[in-house]
Amino acid sequence: MLVTTTPTVEGYPVTQYLRVVCGETVAGVNFLKDMAAGFRNFVGGRSQSYEEELIQARETALAEMVQRAQELGAEGVVGVDIDYETLGTDNGMLMVTASGTAVRFSPVS
């Protein structure tokens, strides 16, 4: 399945726009990761534990979006947008959403 942030794919003319498809995930960051990230924030540097959590959340949201497109018989998703938000009273939850338009392409000649 072709997945792209662009509205078109060179060499693959869109013949049918099926509908908007989305994938969402909400991930909580546990206490130990919070402590490690807080220490990193204090001394400087990157927080590997937060980065790994972010990567996993993004990949999960994209996979759900693709799965929903496949259920519609799509051959691709164009115009993909990924958004990030923090949730919860202490902003301890990370929400990632991926959305795009499920499409079918004409045969490449």
Predicted model pTM: 0.81
CA distances (Å), origin 55, targets 58, 72, 84: 5, 26, 11
When divided into structural domains, the chain yields a total of 1
pLDDT in tens, 22-33: 999 998 765 445
Domain assignment of residue 6, yes or no: yes
Q: Helix (H, G, I), strand (E, B), or coil: what is residue 90?
A: coil
pLDDT in tens, 36-90: 455 445 455 566 777 888 899 999 999 999 999 999 999 999 999 999 998 877 7
Strand order in the sheet with 2-3: 2-3, 76-87, 93-105, 14-28
According to the model, what pLDDT value does residue 31 have? 43
Domain of residue 59 covers 1-103
User: Which CATH number is 58's domain given?
Assistant: 3.30.110.70
Domain assignment of residue 109, yes or no: no
According to the model, what pLDDT value does residue 56 have? 93
According to the model, what pLDDT value does residue 35 have? 44
